[in-house]
Amino acid sequence: MGATLAVHAEGLVKHYRSRAGVVEAVRGVDLMVEGGEVFGFLGPNGAGKSTTVRMLTTLLSITSGTARVAGVEVTHEPDAARRRIGVALQEAGLDPRQTGRELLVLQGRLFGLSTRDTSARAEELLELVELEEAADRQIKGYSGGMKRRLDLASALVHEPDVLFLDEPTTGLDPASRLTVWDELRRINRRGTTVFLTTQYLEEADQLCDRLAVIDGAAGSSGKGRPHSSRPSSASARERRATQRSTTCSSTRPDAAAAASPATSRRCRRDIRVGAGTARAP
Ligand SMILES: Nc1ncnc2c1ncn2[C@@H]1O[C@H](COP(=O)(O)OP(=O)(O)OP(=O)(O)O)[C@@H](O)[C@H]1O
Ligand SMILES: [Mg+2]
């Protein structure tokens, strides 16, 4: 069943261990994301969004639970998983001395594309993210928004089935945010599934077919100092659902709609409360 899903996670748990104790960053997330959708993953600071993304993209070991991405079990076949996914992390790690084009070409070559294909792909992506004019300038001269867009392009070089974006518009001005939204819609129309973490309800409202709210603040055990629970936009009913065994619940978008006067194109009709699981209706 998981083979047909873009993302299928069950009971995903992450504990960070250090001398100070154990931080329970993610406490049992279940996710089912259909191929071709834009899936929003929301939650307050420290809820475990980035940790979940890192586990799903093979960048972090999974303490317990299972995750399949594009039909590939990420723990057992990390290389195969990496070939099918693209990821733009919350902190873009770009070499400031490279030009935008050089970065994309390097990325293409690392994924095994020929010189000719890499060059064509870089050109296509520079156009997609509207960086043609800046393509041959060093990245250190790019604005924050340009760096974000370049990072997005670099995640797309190998034409991934599933694109993970960790807060792609945080820190962007409203115009740059709209540009990124347009790019994401275009990328999605081309068939790429998008898994998007965001703190912006309006962003989820505008872009996402479905969403899940991760509502569990990290706690700690052992010698670590306990973390307090954080509030979230989830309703009391939804929060109760999260108290059982999971930090993740799908939610109705009422909170998003209340916070954002813009009417939702798609979310409103597609989302329902699940018992700690984000599922397609
Ligand atoms: N390397 C680490 N070592 C120990 N604890 C960590 C580590 N990385 C994250 N954490 C903790 O795990 C919890 C979840 O962090 P995470 O970065 O996944 O949250 P987030 O939802 O992405 O937050 P934000 O919205 O601020 O980006 C937090 O309590 C954080 O302090
Ligand atoms: Mg984060």
User: What tens digit of pLDDT does each residue of 103-156 get?
Assistant: 999 999 998 899 999 999 999 999 988 899 999 999 999 988 889 889 989 988
Pair of tokens at residue 227: 């973390």
How far is it, in rounded angstroms, from Cα 2 to Cα 71? 6
Question: Which numbered atom of ligand 1 lies nearest the CA of 47?
Answer: 21
Q: What's the pLDDT tens digit per position in 13-29?
A: 999 998 889 999 999 99
Output the pLDDT for position 216: 62
Domain 2-278 fold is Rossmann fold (3.40.50)
pLDDT number for residue 279: 34
Per-residue pLDDT of the chain (281 residues; tens, 9 = 90+): 444 799 999 999 999 998 889 999 999 999 999 999 999 999 989 999 999 999 999 999 999 999 999 999 999 999 999 999 999 888 878 899 999 999 999 999 998 899 999 999 999 999 988 899 999 999 999 988 889 889 989 988 888 999 999 998 887 888 888 888 988 998 899 899 999 999 888 999 999 999 999 876 544 443 322 222 332 333 322 332 232 223 333 333 333 333 333 333 344 333 322 223 333 33
User: Relative to the alpha carbon of 214, which ligand is closest?
Assistant: 1
| Residue 216 one-letter amino acid | G
Q: Tokens for 54, please give them.
A: 């890192």
Beta bridge partners of 5: 34
Q: Indicate which atom in ligand 1 lies nearest the CA of residue 199.
A: 25
Determine the distance separating the centroid of ligand 1 and the alpha carbon of 203, expressed in angstroms: 22
Domain segments of the chain: what residues?
2-278
Please name the residues in contact with 233: beta carbons below 8 A apart, sequence gap of 6 or more: 42, 201, 213, 255, 256, 259
Atom 6 in ligand 1: which residue has the minimum CA distance? 16
Report the C-alpha gap between 185 and 207 in whole angstroms. Answer: 7
Instruction: Give the position, in ligand 1's atom list, of the atom nearest the Cα of 54.
Output: 18
How many Cβ atoms from other residues are within 10 Å of residue 60's Cβ? 17
Atom of ligand 1 at shortest range from CA of 218: 29
CA 64 / ligand 1 centre spacing (Å): 17
CA of 90 to the centre of ligand 2 (A): 6
Query: Which residues have any ligand 1 atom within 6 Å of their CB?
Result: 16, 23, 25, 43, 45-51, 90, 199, 218, 227
Element (H, E) at 186: helix 174-189
SS (H, E, C) 18-75: ECCEEEEEEEEEEEEEECCCEEEEECCCCCCHHHHHHHHCCCCCCCEEEEEECCEECC
